[in-house]
A and B are shown apart, each in its own frame.
Chain A
């Protein structure tokens, strides 16, 4: 069974940093694109960033470009999201998701990030 488990969320002050992790099991992690998607309280889904299976390509939504960095460690079956200079607008549940066939078809349960003073 494929499992994605996010961790690293929490409460952080504006301007602070946080690093999210996503551990993947049940398939060959290094073969698949990985993505972070977030959902602010009571709001819709927002695609944040993705990374190619070998880490050679990264893409970001404009609102996080220059502040967030997506990365992966295929030896550890893990995906990361380094988030710097956080603002209240970054408060959300952050999901990691993967594309095993066509598009995002496997999802974790999410981790809550709250940016507040």
Chain B
């Protein structure tokens, strides 16, 4: 399964909305439980990735509610409703539907 993120980089003003897209080459929706096997991660320089969202839209414990995930089957979106300075990072989607998991290529989020 190939994961393609867009854009590769994004510049947003503080307090504005940031939107990152992730497209899968195969549906990530498992019909038996109606769940999308898609997660979002944030990675800051010199740090390991941090899980933000799983099941496409469920926020990990402790993640601020300005982060939200949406989408189904092959098209997904990570939205940061009001960008904060600490949100500058790389963002990755991950599909965990297949036996072999795959990440998107990443999106670099910067402040204008």
Chain A residues packing against B (C-beta within 8 Å): 35, 37, 44-47, 50, 59-62, 95, 97, 101-105, 107-110
Contacts and interface: CB of A to CB of B under 8 A. Distances in A.
B67 interface: no
Interface string B42-86: 010001111100110010100000000000000000000000000
Interface of B: 37, 39, 41, 43, 47-51, 54-55, 58, 60, 90, 92, 94, 96, 99-106
Contacts of B39: 102-104
B33 to A, nearest CB: 12
B105 A47 contact: no
B94 A104 contact: yes
Contact of B106 (A45, A62, A95): A45
Contacts, number: 58
Given A44-B106, A45-B92, A110 B99 contact: no
Nearest to B103: A45
A47 B103 contact: yes
B62 to A, nearest CB: 11
B104 A107 contact: no
Contacts of B100: 47, 59-62
Contacts of A45: 41, 43, 49, 92, 94, 103, 106
Contacts of A110: 48
Residue from B50, B96, B102 with most neighbouring chain A CB atoms (10 Å) = B96
B48 A108 contact: yes
A108 to B, nearest CB: 7
Given A47-B100, A107-B48, 13 more contacts: A45-B43, A45-B94, A45-B106, A47-B102, A61-B100, A101-B54, A102-B54, A103-B94, A103-B96, A104-B51, A105-B54, A107-B49, A108-B48
